[in-house]
Amino acid sequence: MRRARLGWWLLAIPMSLLALATIYPLLFTANVALKTRREYILDRFSLTDSLNWANISTAWTSAGMGRYFVNSLVVVTLSVLLLLLLGSMAGFALSQLRFRGSSALFLGCLAGLFIPFQVVMVPLARIMADTALIDTYPGLILVYVAQFLPFTVFLMTSYYRGIPPEIVDAARIDGNTVYGVYRRIMLPLGTPALLSVGILNTLFCWNDVLMALVMMPSAENRTLMIGVTSLRGQYSDNIPTFASGVLIAAIPVLLVYLFLQRQIADGVAAGSTKG
């Protein structure tokens, strides 16, 4: 009994410290965002006396965070939808359909995992400029899809390989076409993996700075994370407003985690079991 209690404390203490180290920066940022400049200058670590929502309003309107939020929302939503569609179709084909060259195609997709964006950044920006896609929504969406599709294909292929091929054969015998098997059988069965990979891709795209910085150079087309970096110079003497911008950028990610944490855990567990 005593040994079990000692083991519990040995686990609880480091886990509590880890949780505190994770949550404290967010609480500190929220507290600073709700302070006045005077409160922050006098004592940056004290709790705010009043909820000063003017900083968040200033960051949303005057600093352009509202416009950047819409830019990110449009680009990330369309990118993730395309990734899920293409990734699930490719994963189904590479795992369940028997055709020559499937192994080579899968290895080619895996090779994309090892190519960092910095290697292709300059030629890609030149191609986008020549095709008038730079500084446009479609241009950045294409870049996100190209960058994260190998990861999506890898996860979906691994997941679909855990599904018995007899299910596909039985569906084909019942008269389904390949597209019918994908839409009626594989797409519903792949929901846990699609949810997991969709959430991960959403976080990747939402938090991206480098690709958005290269592909969206104009101020009006900035994404939210680029907007946050620009706040650092614009409001270097007004830290509460800068913290408000950081808070606006972090809230969507936090909401995704809070409302979908069970689905994330279930999806990862299902993917590991099937894979």
pLDDT tens readout for residues 34-48: 988 888 888 888 888
Q: What is the largest CA-CA distance in the chain?
A: 75
Say what the pLDDT of residue 93 is: 92
Say what the pLDDT of residue 268 is: 60
Percent of the chain with pLDDT over 90: 22
Say what the pLDDT of residue 205 is: 93
pLDDT(267) > 60: no
**8 Å CB contact between 166 and 173:** no
Under the banding of pLDDT at 50, 70 and 90, the label for residue 121 is confident
CATH no. for 64-271: 1.10.3720.10
Query: How many other C-beta atoms are found inside a 10 Å radius of the C-beta of residue 113?
Result: 12
**8 Å CB contact between 218 and 268:** no
Say what the pLDDT of residue 79 is: 96
pLDDT(186) > 60: yes
Under the banding of pLDDT at 50, 70 and 90, the label for residue 149 is very high
Under the banding of pLDDT at 50, 70 and 90, the label for residue 145 is very high
The angle that helices 239-274 and 191-207 make with each other, rounded to 10 degrees, is 150
Under the banding of pLDDT at 50, 70 and 90, the label for residue 232 is confident
Under the banding of pLDDT at 50, 70 and 90, the label for residue 275 is very low
Q: Global pTM?
A: 0.83
- pLDDT averaged over the chain? 86
Nearest to 226 by CA among 238, 216, 236, 235: 216
Nearest to 193 by CA among 76, 77, 92, 74: 92
Q: Distances in Å between the alpha carbon of 38 and those of 31, 32, 167, 245? A: 14, 11, 67, 19
pLDDT(273) > 60: no
Range name among 2-11, 68-77, 111-120, 137-146 with the lowest pLDDT average = 2-11
- Averaged pLDDT for residues 209-235: 86
